[in-house]
Structure 1
C-alpha cells in the first residue's frame, strides 16, 4: 500500500527533494496535498502530475485562478490553507518543509489529526517545543526528523536505551564563512553568505548556517526530540559533512551515522521508516576517496549566535520563541540589504535581553511573544 504524503513547502529545497523521492517511487508514495507560496509554475507542474486532493497557496487570487485551471482540486490560501493541507484526513505522513514559525500551527493540527510528522521545520520545535512534544505524546504521534543531523541521531539511537546516553554530538560544517575571523565578517555580502561549501539549501537556512544559528536551532530541536539536557548536547566542527552526528554512551562507545551530503537520504528514511528503500541516483560514500576527515572544537566567541541559542534553550519558556522570531526578521533584513551580517546576532541578543521570560507558556502566549518580537526587531532597525 502506498503511503499518502502531505507536503508543506513543495517549492523549497527540502520540498523539491521530497518531490524527487515521490516521483522516483510512484509505487511507494502518493502525494495527496501540498502547499506552495508564490511559485505558481511549481503548483501547476506538481498538480498536473499528481492530481492531489487539496493545495494551498499564499494569495487568494492565485487560489481562484488555479481552481479554474484544475477544477477537480480544492485550492485554499494563507495560513489557514497551510493548516488544511497539513491536517488533511487522507494523509499518512506530513512533511513539514516550510521555513520559520509559520509551520507551528499546521504541525499541531496534523498531530491532533493523528498524522505522522516528518519534521524539517526546526523553528516549530524551537518556538514551542514543549507544547509540540506534549501534543505528540498525547496523541501518540511520531515525530520523525528530516534534518541530516537529527536523522543521524535518530538512527544511532535506534534500539538503544536513552538512559545510557552520555552526550549527543551534532556536527557542523562551519558554513560559508568558516575560514574568516570575526573581524573579516564585517563587510561580507549576501551572495558570499549564500555560497555554502557543502550543502544545497534554501536561502534562510544557508544564512543561518553562516551565522551558526542553524546549529543552535538544531541543538534546541535535539533537546526536544530526544529529551536530552543541554549540557549533554555538544557541537563539533566537521568540514566535510560526512559524519552527520554521533551519540556517545556511558561506556564511551560512540555510534555515528555517515554518508555523502545528500538531503534525499534523511528525507527518504523519514518517509519509509522503519524500512529502508533503494536510493535512486545515489551518491555513495567512498571513504578511500576522501582520505581524511577533520574535526575542531567549537569556538563560541567566534560563533556568537550558537552561544545565544544555548542560552535561550537553557532559559526555556518563551526565550527560544524570542530568539527564533528575532533571528527570522534579522536574516530577512540582511538578505534585503538593510543591515550588515554581524547585525543579525546583535539584534537577536538585544531582543533576548529585552524579554521577560514566561516559564510555561500556552500556545496563545507563544504566538503573541512571536508577533511582538518581530515588531520590536523591525523597530530597532527603523
Structure 2
C-alpha cells in the first residue's frame, strides 16, 4: 500500500549521470521519496545494484539480450523485470507512480514521456530532446491532462525558480548561461584537430558523453534555447545566451520593468533534481554552499557563433518551426555518434547538421507520426552523408 506522505518515483535512465544523482537525492530523503521504477538500456550490472538497494516494484532493461541476467539476479528480491522499448512505455503508466524522471539520452525519451503524460504522471524533465523534437505536441498533452512539466536542466530549473511570486507579470526575456565548454575562446583553426578525449573534458560539470560533446559544440545550449520556448511560452527573440565560465549563475529572467532575477549556486545537478522532485517544497540538504568570497569575479561573454555554429543552427530551427528542430536533433545525435567513433571531425558536425536541415523535407504542421518519420529519415540521411565523406 502506498504511503500518502511520500512521492513514488520512476527513473528512466537510472544508470546515467542524472539517474545516479537522482538516486543520491532519494537516498538522502528516504522519508519523502520511494523508488517505484528503475530503467536502463545496457548497464545491467549497475541496474541490479540499484535495484538491490532501493527495491523498486519494477525494473526495465532496454537491451533484451540482458533480460535473463537481470531477471535471475532480481527474482530472489521479488522485483518484476521487463525488457525492451514497449515495456518502457508501459511501465510509466503504472497507477502507483507520482512522478516520472525522464533521464534518457536523446530522442529515446520522447515516447515514454508522452505515455507518462497521457497517464497523468507529472514529469521531471531531464531529457531536453523531448521538447526539442515535439514540443507542441508534448506541451499540449500536458495541458490537456493537467500534468506539470518540472525542468531538471540547471538552466531551465533556474528560470523556473525565478518565477514564483511573479503572478501574471510577463517575462521580457530570459538569459541562459553557458560555461563555454572545454574550447571556450578557441577559433576554428584551433579546433581542426581536436580529439574526442579533449571534447569530453568539461571544465565544470560531470555529465554523460553525449551531453558533454553537445556542450563542447554549444549544441547543448541550442537545444536548451528550443526547450525554453516550450517550457516558458517564449519566442526566439526573448531567449538570449551568454557565456559565463564560472557556472555560478545558472540563468536569469528579465521582466518588463527591466529588473533581472538570477538563480545562483555551485554547479551541482543534485540541486535542480531535488527541486523538481520535491516541488513546491525546498528540502534541506548538506550540499556544499556557495561563498562569494571564493568567486570575487563573475564574468560574461558573447557566444562565438562563427566558431560554434550549432547555436546559430538551433536558433534557425526554432524560428523555422515545424519539424525543423526534429531534423536538427536527429542530425546532431548522428553527428555526435560519428564524432565519438572518429568518423567525423569536430568541425564537420555542424556541417552535417546544416546539410540535413537543408535536405530533409520540411513539414510546417507535423503530426506525431511526421516527427517519428522525420527522425528516421534524418538519421538515414546523416549516416549516408557521413559514409560518403569517409569514402
Within 2, Cα distance between the matches of 1:203 and 1:126?
A: 19
Within 2, Cα distance between the matches of 1:285 and 1:258?
A: 8
In structure 1, what is the equivalent of residue 385 of structure 2? 380
In structure 1, what is the equivalent of residue 198 of structure 2? 192
Superposed displacement of residue 81, structure 1: 2.2
Superposed displacement of residue 262, structure 1: 0.4
In structure 2, what is the equivalent of residue 241 of structure 1? 247
In structure 2, what is the equivalent of residue 302 of structure 1? 307
Residue 56 (structure 1) aligned with residue 56 (structure 2): no
Residue 128 (structure 1) aligned with residue 127 (structure 2): no
Superposed displacement of residue 162, structure 1: 5.3
In structure 2, what is the equivalent of residue 339 of structure 1? 344
In structure 2, what is the equivalent of residue 360 of structure 1? 365
Q: 2:32 aligns with which of 28, 34, 54?
A: 28
Residue 7 (structure 1) aligned with residue 7 (structure 2): no
Matches within 5 A, 1:218-297: 218-280=224-286, 282-297=287-302
Within 2, Cα distance between the matches of 1:140 and 1:58?
A: 29
Matches within 5 A, 1:91-102: 91-102=97-108
Superposed displacement of residue 84, structure 1: 2.4
Superposed displacement of residue 54, structure 1: 1.2
Gaps of 5+ in 2: none
Residues 307 and 162 of structure 1: CA distance in aligned 2, closer, same or farther (over 3 Å): farther
Name the stretch that deviates more: 296-305 or 318-327.
296-305
| Corresponding pairs, count | 381
Superposed displacement of residue 163, structure 1: 5.1
Name the stretch that deviates more: 103-112 or 85-94.
85-94
Superposed displacement of residue 150, structure 1: 0.1
Superposed displacement of residue 111, structure 1: 0.3
Question: CA offsets, 1:228-266, max 9 Å, x none?
Answer: 111110001100000000000111100000000000000
**Is the CA contact (8 Å cut-off) linking 1:35 and 1:85 kept in structure 2?**
no
Question: CA offsets, 1:31-63, max 9 Å, x none?
Answer: 000111111111111111122111111222322
Name the stretch that deviates more: 239-248 or 357-366.
357-366
- Equivalent position SS for 2:124: strand
Within 1, Cα distance between the matches of 2:136 and 2:53?
A: 39
- Equivalent position SS for 2:182: coil
Gaps of 5+ in 1: none
Question: CA offsets, 1:147-169, max 9 Å, x none?
Answer: 00000000111222455211110
**Is the CA contact (8 Å cut-off) linking 1:34 and 1:85 kept in structure 2?**
no
**Is the CA contact (8 Å cut-off) linking 2:38 and 2:51 kept in structure 1?**
no
Q: 1:43 aligns with which of 39, 47, 68?
A: 47
Within 1, Cα distance between the matches of 2:369 and 2:32?
A: 39
Superposed displacement of residue 288, structure 1: 1.1
Within 2, Cα distance between the matches of 1:182 and 1:158?
A: 42
Question: CA offsets, 1:136-181, max 9 Å, x none?
Answer: 0000100000000000000111222455211110000001110311
Name the stretch that deviates more: 81-90 or 171-180.
81-90
Within 1, Cα distance between the matches of 2:168 and 2:225?
A: 17
- Equivalent position SS for 1:83: helix
Question: CA offsets, 1:324-381, max 9 Å, x none?
Answer: 0000010010011111111111100000011332111111110010011001100001
- For normalisation by structure 2, the TM-score amounts to 0.96
Question: CA offsets, 1:187-236, max 9 Å, x none?
Answer: 00000000000111111001000000000000000000000111110001
Question: CA offsets, 1:291-339, max 9 Å, x none?
Answer: 1000012222122100000000111110000000000010010011111
Q: Tell me how large the CA RMSD over aligned residues is.
A: 1.1
Within 2, Cα distance between the matches of 1:269 and 1:319?
A: 32
